[in-house]
Amino acid sequence: MSENLMSLTLRIWRQPNAATAGKISEYKLAGVSSDMSFLEMLDMLNEELTVKGEEPVAFDYDCREGICGMCGIVINGVPHGRGNSAVATTTCQLHMRNFKDGDVITIEPWRATPFPIIKDLVVDRRAFDKIIASGGYISVNTGAAPEAHANAVSKLKADRAFDAATCVGCGACVAACPNHSGMLFVAAKITHLAMLPQGQPERPLRIKTMIGTHDELGFAGCQNAGECAAVCPKEIPLDTIAQLNRDLIASLFNRAGKSTAAE
């Protein structure tokens, strides 16, 4: 594929901090190569802004390899900006060849009450850490690894667990959800652990504490619209949410978590 240079109009959400109202600012950017990644394009804009003495656009990233989940931007109304492409992607793995000369691109942060905006395109996603800390783990004593053949796991369950475990916690599901529900994120963790033997002892309690925390942090309910799975860079399937629902309903008939605290 040959390199292509293009000129773009960028409409970017600028907000100096959480307390100040934000607004869209327009920037013209010329000489953008089709081989650049979306974040490299933003880097280029930021260099120009810095030279001009303007405040560069703040955005989150870390690995730029599509594996850490740090980068999260709503591009033309779609979290991570895959648009109509058949390929699921993170923002850092989205390339400028998906755009053409003269395009107007609207760039915004995740919008959800539990993810307050810190600055420009950067949001605070610690709510996800709190959900994980409330139950998204297994408690095991360390020591020698158990004999691998002692606990056979069916291929079907292993695949399901691995598919769910690929969640990078980027929060695109929340950003895309019309209700701003965190169900797909919680469902990925619930399904991952529910499919494996290690996850069983805490299974009924885990779902209760994780959903309790999810609701308390202000994430809303799922309406089964399917927007979350459509933007998920790791293609976590929508059916994990049914697994979560199933586990939660089953847990209502289980005593786990009935007496407070020390369980």
Q: Which of residues 60-119 bind another protein (CB under 8 A)?
A: 74, 76-78, 83-84, 106, 108, 111-114, 116
Q: Does 181 bind another protein (CB under 8 A)?
A: yes
Choosing from 92, 105, 161, 231, the residue that interacts with ligand FES (CB under 6 A) is 92
* Count of residues that interact with ligand FES, criterion CB under 6 A: 13
Choosing from 4, 27, 33, 64, the residue that interacts with ligand FES (CB under 6 A) is 64
DSSP 8: E
Q: Does 166 bind another protein (CB under 8 A)?
A: no
| Main-chain dihedrals φ then ψ at residue 41, nearest 5 degrees | -65, -40
Q: Which stretch binds ligand FES (CB under 6 A): 18-26, 63-71, 118-126, 208-216?
A: 63-71
Q: Does 256 bind ligand FES (CB under 6 A)?
A: no
Choosing from 5, 63, 153, 249, the residue that interacts with ligand FES (CB under 6 A) is 63
Burial of 120 (C-beta count, 10 Å sphere; 0-12/13-18/19+): buried
For residue 14, the partner it binds in another protein, ligand FES, none, with Cβ less than 5 to 8 A by kind, is none
Long-range CB pairs of 226-229, under 8 A, 24+ apart, other chains included: 227/176, 227/177, 227/178, 228/172, 228/173, 228/174, 228/176, 228/177, 228/181, 228/183, 228/184, 229/173, 229/184
Build a one-symbol-per-residue string for 221-240: x at contacts with another protein by CB under 8 A, - elsewhere.
xxxxxxx-xxx-----xxx-
Query: Concatenated DSSP letters for 43-88?
Result: HHHHHHHHHTTPPPPP---S-SSSSS-----EETTEETT-TT-SS-
Reading phi first (left if > 0) and then psi (alpha if -120 to 50, else beta), residue 38 is in alpha
What is the contact surface with another protein in residues (CB under 8 A)? 11, 13, 24, 74, 76-78, 83-84, 106, 108, 111-114, 116, 176, 178-181, 205, 207-209, 211-212, 214-216, 218-227, 229-231, 237-239, 241-249, 251-252, 255-260, 263
What is the contact surface with ligand FES in residues (CB under 6 A)? 61-64, 66-71, 90-92
